Structure 1
């Protein structure tokens, strides 16, 4: 049974926003402030990240318009390069995506834990119980059908946007951060290091929109609706991110921002007073659910594409004719996510791990636009989206992402080599799977 298009432009716009706004904007500004050391460089990092993200969005909008298929992130790499390379990229991304969901759910559980659990259960096991319960509930919702899960995503994304907007509103309050008694002057370092190190958490926070092309077969009129949804979603995200980072600096203060962990709770106290923590905890947890839900929607589509190419058993592309759910693929991805909850270290190390594969994968997938332009030339003039300033837009995006990849190797070459070991291991796994599936 093939996938039938059931999603409209609003659904896809909410998916774009849901894919991008996870826990990053409530955690990573601390790391960006610490790496940049100065407010101007801090803002420049977020603006540069937004500009690069917009270039990536334009590139992926055309890719999605030219090649609208299920599991597009795998398919486009297979079509543009080789199925083996596509598998190597995507099998590591599936693992890192599951790790991201697990990590985000744990952070969400840290916030909601004091609201739901008694003091005696405020420990790691209690938080993991909440995280697992959240994933299981979302799994059940997704098993009931893509229409229900998409509707749930719309509601959760509205809550997510509401939370960020509330944090943005603090920028217009009368509260101004007190002057820091001691301002530590950062040691002089190269701009190469500053922007390379700062862009790792920035791109982690902006990332996720590329998975939109996994829904090519789910969207009605994808050539028109996919670019429109990506543009609208990215515009909303850029506006929210720039505003909320200004609010962080204005309310908390730049020097204090470097050492503030509970950003959302600290900001909400300014707006809500004593009830700020509880209100923020609930909204933040709903934001986490939205991020987890949209990934449960997206990632099984990559399994579908791999099964179509014969690198996974055919059972992974089995779609329930009534609910349009890939029941086996969704179950496998959910089990992987829950399992990774027991092997996580900390949020910052996960960012490095995830971004290593994201930078390579996103740059590689973006590069397929040069192949697609040539191979799908016959589609020009048929109503598909074509970006302006080609080829400079994709070249700028690819160059910056490869620059961040190099910086990750410079910053922690041991961890980077370990990650590349997982990537290289994908080749023998691909060959073995191809042989087994035959």
Structure 2
């Protein structure tokens, strides 16, 4: 058993998945979704559907890890199974948008909630709090691997305890309220399939952490069994939490108070229990957002380190055995800070949901390539059902959403174009496989 494997136990992997997923989206998406769909029931149904798709995705990623036990996620899967160019573009998207963008999204939401809790923070320059928490997360994981992993686990455990207690208390208040909040009408909006698809893309961002454990697979003992188990268990826990929390958010206050609002959790808490409840909710939201930021600060740099190991990025970004990838962590912090300074919360949510959905679908599609090209059938009774469900649903949601909001699809073009140019301009001639590769396909 290696030094790293003792750090990444099953609970560590579950905490990485839950911490990555239960972040900004779970507390912000339903307000925007309710404004677009005009129905609490449709919004909850969206959370349910997206959760099932995420479980299918977790199963599919588990099949990939059983073939490829290296760290690096989509970059490694696509590079090894399809073509180095496909992997490089996936890694490029992760570097320029995926992880830094998701960190920026969570950090901006963190700032919004803190400003709402303590109005004096509104005097602090805009984005200063978001930038500060992003830098602190980078420093935490850049110190020692053990320090970062254990700190993240403790944050996730604290978040789960407080969140469960708050959901139980809120459910008790809502069911006893007279008249029940559910009788308060939502402003009627005609159902729109494209808007529903867009909502599913947003919601998928809250579930996108289902694959987080795959990014550290190369540092886990018995990864073929431990990583798939951690991803599926973490995704099931995430789905239960998402449904429970968003039921409370949707039925805990008048729809007119929460439609189109990012900080709906604080609004609902104020409606249910006044100032004390609001402060408790703001505390758990802040902790949840911190777990999301620390999870991505842990996972993302492993992608860039693997790219450097393969020659796809400068060697300075490699990870030394037993040490965190400090230079890669610093690079991610810098890009995250730039995105925080240049982006808005809702714009980031739409773009990230669309971009990450397509990257995840492409990675899962590599299972079919493995089966077709190399004759290796994934060792799972859920093949090909789980990957088919995930790919078809994810791509369909993304395409329907792009019709409703075409700019999110257009914004992806220059990112992929720049990635292809970078690959053919330099990487194609220097890329090499790692001699330590554990690939078995």
Instruction: Give 2:355's match in structure 1, choosing from 353, 357, 379.
Output: 357
Contact kept? 2:249, 2:265, Cα under 8 Å: no
Change (3 A) 1:136 1:42: closer
**Residue 103 of structure 1 corresponds to which residue in structure 2?**
105
Alpha-carbon offset, residue 270 of structure 1: 5.4
Aligned to 1:146: 145
Map Cα deviations across residues 247-294 of structure 1 (whole Å, 9 max, x no partner).
223322456542444222133335653222322223222221111111
Show the counterpart of 2:154.
Answer: 155
Aligned partners of 2:239 and 2:186: how far apart in 1? 30
What is the rounded CA distance, in whole Å, between the counterparts of 1:160 and 1:437 in structure 2?
Answer: 45
For 1:60-99, list aligned pairs within 5 A: 60-96=61-97, 97-99=99-101
In the TM superposition, residue 215 of structure 1 has moved relative to its aligned partner by: 0.7
Q: State the match for 2:298 in structure 1.
A: 297
2:198 and 2:139 mapped to 1: Cα distance? 39
Q: Distance in 2 between matches of 1:417 and 1:68?
A: 34
Task: Tell me how large the CA RMSD over aligned residues is.
Answer: 2.5
C-alpha distance in 2 between matches for 1:109 and 1:401:
30
Q: Normalising by the residue count of structure 1, what TM-score does the alignment of the two structures yield?
A: 0.89
The residue number in structure 2 matching 1:370 is 368
Unaligned runs of 5+ in 2: 432-441
- The question of whether the paired residues in 2 share the 8 Å contact of 1:68 and 1:223 is answered with yes
1:401/1:276 Cα in 2 relative to 1: closer, same or farther (>3 Å)? Answer: same
More displaced stretch, 20-29 vs 427-436? 427-436
Q: For residues 165 and 253 of structure 1, do their structure 2 counterparts lie closer, same or farther at Cα, with a shift above 3 Å needed? A: farther
Contact 2:72/2:306, CA 8 A, preserved across alignment = yes
**3-state SS in 1 of match to 2:197:** helix
Corresponding residue for residue 187 of structure 1: 190
Q: Are the counterparts in 1 of residues 365 and 387 from structure 2 also a CA contact under 8 Å?
A: yes
2:200 counterpart residue number: 199
Per-residue CA deviations over 1:29-59 (Å, capped at 9, x if unaligned) read 1122223322332232121111111111111
**Structure 1 403/172 Cα, relative in aligned 2: closer, same or farther at 3 Å?**
same
- Structure 1 position 82, deviation (Å): 0.8
Listed one character per residue, the Cα deviations across residues 181-209 of structure 1 (whole Å, up to 9, x for unaligned) are: 765322354xx324312212111121122
Q: Could you tell me which residue of structure 2 aligns to residue 423 of structure 1? A: 416
Distance of aligned partners of 1:329 and 1:27 in 2 relative to their CA distance in 1, 3 Å threshold = same
Unaligned runs of 5+ in 1: none
Are residues 171 and 89 of structure 1, via their aligned partners in 2, closer, same or farther at CA, if it must alter by over 3 Å? same
Please state how far the C-alpha of 1:419 moved relative to its aligned partner.
Answer: 2.0
What secondary structure does 1:187 align onto? coil
Q: In 1, Cα distance between the equivalents of 2:297 and 2:64?
A: 22
Q: Distance in 1 between matches of 2:162 and 2:259?
A: 22
Q: C-alpha separation between the residues in 2 aligned to 1:207 and 1:371?
A: 23
1:170-249 alignment runs, 5 A limit: 170-173=170-173, 174-175=176-177, 177-178=180-181, 183-187=186-190, 189=192, 192-249=193-250
